[in-house]
Amino acid sequence: TEKYDGFITDEDLRIRFVTRATNEGGQEVFRYEDGKATPFDSIGFEDSQTTGPSGLTRDGKTLYWSESRGRNTAALLAIDLVGGKKKLIGEDSRADVGGEIRDPATGVVLAYSVDYLKNEWRAVDPAIKADIDFLNSNLKGQWAVQSQTRANNIWLIGNDPITSPPRVMVYDRAGKSLTELYVGRPALTGKTLPAICPVEIKARDGL
């Protein structure tokens, strides 16, 4: 009856935040506790696609939030739900912050991605930087973490090498090793696939 169209739950599947579209094309965000919704934030139409909640840490104390208001690109923030303090996690002047790598045990963001000409991963936790560097050096094309063990020692990596079919790799973080699990389109293995590359074109305004 309240016309909510989005829900964010905690680890116990309790609804913590709800969202609702406005008549003007924006979005209202409400904090939801004990069956009651209280206003948390209101987002105008121009930022409604790039601003809003993106999930909680497992302890439910921190809300991750995409924020583009007053900015040219969307940044990733962490909001302390007890004190209300906001912390900048990641940003890039060229493009919005996109994907995330989170600690599977805590839900804390360990790295984020920015896709300008190609997808680039940036470490938030210094311990993850060595993994990003290793994967960048050993995988052609683009990659993303698809799944992790709870101990976060094994990752399943989706990799598109561009000139060969997409595949899924098993990455052992401790041993720094990659093992192919399967190829998405095995019929294309060994076939000649065209190389592609990003192209940047200057617009009429000089940008």
Residues 41-89 have pLDDT tens digits of: 999 999 999 999 999 999 999 999 999 999 999 999 999 999 999 999 9
Asked if residue 207 has pLDDT above 90, the reply is no
Give me the pLDDT at residue 197, please. 87
Q: How many CB atoms lie within 10 A of CB 113?
A: 21
Instruction: Give the residue among 61, 73, 84 at the shortest CA–CA distance from 113.
Output: 73
Instruction: Give the residue among 58, 169, 133 at the shortest CA–CA distance from 103.
Output: 58
Entry pTM: 0.90
Asked if residue 10 has pLDDT above 90, the reply is yes
Average pLDDT over residues 149-159: 97
CB 20 within 8 A of CB 67: no
Share of the chain above pLDDT 70, in %: 100
Average pLDDT over residues 79-107: 96
Average pLDDT over residues 11-31: 96
Give me the pLDDT at residue 58, please. 95
| Residue type for position 3 | K
What is the separation of C-alpha 47 from the centre of its chain, rounded to a whole number of angstroms?
Answer: 18
Q: Give the Cα separation of 68 and 6 in Å (integer).
A: 19
Give me the pLDDT at residue 168, please. 98
Question: DSSP letters of 58-74?
Answer: TTS-EEEEEE-TTSSS-
What is the separation of C-alpha 100 from the centre of its chain, rounded to a whole number of angstroms?
Answer: 3
- The mean of the pLDDT values for the chain is 96
Asked if residue 33 has pLDDT above 90, the reply is yes
